[in-house]
Every structure is written in structure tokens, then in C-alpha cells.
Structure 1
Amino acid sequence: MSQELPTVLFFAGAFADPSCFDTFSKLLQTAGYPTAYAYVPSLNPSDPTAVSSSQDAQVTSENYLLPLLNQGKDVVIFAHSYGGIVGGAAAAGLSKASRAAAGMPGGVIGLIYCVGNIVGEGESLLQAVGGAYPPFIQENQPSKGLAVISPVIQTLYGEGAVSPETIPELEAAMTPHSLKAFETPQTAPAWAESAFDGRRAYIRTIDDQCNPLFIQDIWIEKTAVKWKTVDVKSGHCPFITQPEELAEIAVTLIKSWT
């Protein structure tokens, strides 16, 4: 019997339902990798003040990651943008090595950050970007405590990167996100653990207008741990604009860990 391939658990960026990964996810499924989505409470909550970054990590760990691990599955975290903060904390203490040492099944075998936001323990995203929101973050829109990105296409994809007929759908997918999630500190991240040495990858998006390349490099450097970096000439969302290329990268990385 062939060994089951690891499950890829997706953590979406802010302002996005995980269905944004649908095309990319199907490509990984075709390659034999089961996939699953993690959903965060801070995406368009009824009460934007009742959520936090650490709550996102706790909820996604308990509701989406641990159920997979307790079934004995190996998991790869694929985290985009804000999902890097949530996914990193959600996976803390849950490496394959740590769980095996405790006599528990399954475990996280690797971390793939696709232009993932990186914060240290006790740090917020707002602090990580310098303490001020960039101009494309429209605060208290469409109501107090929420935010959206505008302009959507230029910020997330880049001019000419998507076909004109898809623009209305991509703009309509912009979902309000709680500002408090960006302003509250996160718990200890998995990437800081030695169990992930040789099992951390960062996909840099070269033409990114949302998280420019220089800030991606600052985040990577400040971790003081080693990442395998792979470059994609794309804007902020290569799983939308270049899903086939991204799938090839992800499969190559996962194979190196299995």
C-alpha cells in the first residue's frame, strides 16, 4: 500500500475567504495531495472588537489543524499574507517530531509561507509593518472596526495581471476584516522551533504592491532562522495569477520533506 501524502492546510490572507485557493488547491489535489481550509473568526465578524490574532490561531488550531493530526495525518501549512501569522501560531508545538515524542499521531511536517506576514511572539501585524497602516487599507470601512483594501486589483494583483472579465469577481471577493486582528499580539510561532529546521519555505513575490519585496526580506531576516526561499515574479496573489507555477513550487517543496 502506498503511503498517504500529507494534507495541505491553507491559511488565507486577510480580506479573503479561503475559497480564493480553489484553483490552486485543485492542482495540488490532482498531484495527489489532500487539501483543507482554515477559517478565521476575524474575517467579517459581527463584532469586530471581539476577535484577535491569537484567537484566530487558537480557533484554527483546534477546529482545523488538530482534527487532521488526531486522525494520524501529516500536514503541510500553506500560509498566505496574514495567514502566515495565524498559521504559524496555530502550528506551534505540533511538529511531527514533537507529537511523535509525546506518543501522538500525525504532525506538521513543513511550513510554506507565500509572502506570509511574519511576527514574533507578542508582536502584532501593525507593529510588523512599522506601526502605521499603508494607504490601501481603508480603515473603518464599511463600518467601524472593519477595513477593506482599495484599490483591489492594483494592490493585490497588479495592472494587467488578471483578465478583464475576472476583475468584477475579484473585486467582489474583497471581504471586510477586523482591524483588531492586525493590532493584537500573536503567540509563539512554529517557525521559531528547531523541529522546522530545513522545513521552512518562503515564496517571495517579486512584484508585490501589498507587501513589497523589501519588507518580505526584513521579515525573513528578523526571524534569525533559515528559510528556503523561492521567487515568483508576481503580485501579492500568485495562486490567482500563476496557480500552475505555484503548484509546481509547492509540490517540489513538499516532496523534499517527505
Structure 2
Amino acid sequence: MTTILFIPGAWITKAFYEPFLQALTTAGYDVRYAGYPSLDPKDSDPSTIDCHADTEAITAVLRSLVEDEGKDVLLFMHSYAGMPGAAAATGLAKSQRAQEGKVGGVIGLLFLGAFVVPKGLSCAGLQGGNLPPWILLDQPSANLNIADDPINNFAADVDLALAQSLTANLKPHATLSFTSPQPHPAWADEELQGRLAFVVTTEDRAVPKEAQLGMMVATQQSWIVKELASSHCGPFLNRIDETVALTREILDQFL
């Protein structure tokens, strides 16, 4: 059985994704979840939590699945997760481990409305050095940020009553994670060529379709591309069945 390791977007806690994660489980997948410290850093100094720290947290979960449990893992990354998630997969590709006589490994990377950033460039750097104005800096305190008008930016196509589950599950995020450099991403490695997929959220206001396509083109890699006529968070609200179906299609191609 394939294990899907889901990694959340910025600001969005696990509770928001639970209906989607449950739908994947019902579809027959072993579903796991990897959080990271820049999301709602209650016990850490947010001025010290960068993309590298997030990568280390995800790597610990992924290594446990691959090395301790021998799992074949699909990384499913939403939004900001594309940065630390792709870095966490470095050196853990199934093909690479098989050559070393080891079982388990990463069988593919799936990005949904996510960031695909070259090594050394930050999320802010990818956008000309500045974060978009709807990211409200130093709120609720220094070195943290929150998303302004989240329903409009993340779920404008979703019924308001349903979208309330999004606003109820948003937390502050450490700003340094957006301004620190991307560690080496596994999508650049030969071992994962042909195993890169992207679900483009075509009605996305947070990460517009053109930006998603542009990031893919800039990698000069080959991608499996699917489109979903959805907002940034709609896939996990009112398009769950379609998102599960696209995940299955992509996994079938990887397998």
C-alpha cells in the first residue's frame, strides 16, 4: 500500500485538512501528516524558524516512514509546503534506495497550488523580494504574520458557511520561513525525474495559475500536470472527491 505523506500550507492547521485526509484514507491509502515549526510557533522563537528548520522537521517524519517502516511514499505538498517538502525528499528516492539494496523510498512528489523554488532563492525572493500585501507582517507580534481576508484570497469560490472551517483553523506563521533560502530541492535530482506532478488550481488568487505554471517551466523538468478549476483551498473544501481522483490518477502514473 502506498503511503501518502501530506504536508500543509502556511497558516493552515491539520484540522482544516482532516476531511480530505479522511477521504484519502477511505480511498485505500495509508495517510500520514508532517507538520513543521514555522506554523503557529508557540514554543519557539519565530525569528529563528526558517525553511531549513521546517525541512528538518519534515525529513524526520519522512525518514521514519522510509527507513524504519520501509514505506513507499508519495509526498503531497500544498502551497508553502512545496519548499521544505521538496527539500526533505532529497536522497530518499525509491530508485536511489533500491540501488543501495534498501526497501522503501519516495516514489513521487505531488505539488498542489504549491511553491517550486530553486535552491538558494526564498519565497519572497521568487516574488521580487517582497511578500504580497495580503500577508500582514508582524501580526500578531514581531516576526509572525497572518493572512488578510483569507476567504477571499483562499476560498472565494466556496460557500461561505463551508469556508468558515478555513478561518477557524488558521494560525500565525513565522515570517523567516518565507524570507530564508530554499534548501536543495529533490525535484532537481535525476532520481525523481518523471515522478513530478502538479495540480494547478486555476482560480487561485493566492498563487495565481500563471505563477504556478511559471515555476514549473523554470525548473526545466518534465511534469505531470493536472488542472482543477478551484481556489487555493477549494480542493480541500468543495472539491475533495475531484482532488482524491486526481491524486489516484497521478499515483497510477508513478506506479
1:84 correspondence with 2:82: yes
Aligned to 1:130: 128
Aligned to 1:121: 119
Aligned to 2:149: 151
Aligned to 1:21: 17
Write out per-residue CA displacement over residues 114-157 of structure 1, whole angstroms, 9 at most, x where no aligned residue: 01101111111111122111111011111110001110100001
Q: Aligned equivalents of 2:17 and 2:154: distance in 1?
A: 14
- 1:166 offset after TM fit, Å? 3.1
1:251 correspondence with 2:221: no
Q: Among the aligned pairs, what percent are the same residue?
A: 35
Match of 2:221 among 219, 222, 225: 225
- 1:170 offset after TM fit, Å? 2.0
Write out per-residue CA displacement over residues 79-100 of structure 1, whole angstroms, 9 at most, x where no aligned residue: 0000100110000111001111
Please tell me whether the aligned partners of residues 10 and 18 of structure 1 are also in contact (alpha carbons under 8 angstroms).
Answer: no
Q: Aligned equivalents of 1:101 and 1:191: distance in 2?
A: 19
SS in 1 for 2:125: helix
Match of 1:43 among 36, 39, 42: 39
Q: Aligned equivalents of 1:239 and 1:164: distance in 2?
A: 14
Q: Aligned equivalents of 1:32 and 1:166: distance in 2?
A: 26
1:52 correspondence with 2:84: no
Number of aligned residues: 251
- 1:200 offset after TM fit, Å? 0.6
Give the unaligned 5+ runs of structure 2. none
Please tell me whether the aligned partners of residues 124 and 184 of structure 1 are also in contact (alpha carbons under 8 angstroms).
Answer: yes
Q: Aligned equivalents of 1:206 and 1:163: distance in 2?
A: 18
Q: Aligned equivalents of 2:152 and 2:105: distance in 1?
A: 38
- 1:43 offset after TM fit, Å? 0.9
Give the unaligned 5+ runs of structure 1. none
1:179 correspondence with 2:175: yes
Write out per-residue CA displacement over residues 200-252 of structure 1, whole angstroms, 9 at most, x where no aligned residue: 11111111000011111110111110111101000001122311100000011
Aligned to 2:236: 239
- 1:193 offset after TM fit, Å? 1.1
Q: Aligned equivalents of 1:10 and 1:115: distance in 2?
A: 14
The residue correspondences of 1:162-173 to structure 2 (distance < 5 A) are 162-173=158-169
Q: TM-score, normalised by structure 1?
A: 0.94
Alpha-carbon RMSD: 1.2
SS in 2 for 1:82: helix
* Letter in structure 2 aligned against 1:39: G
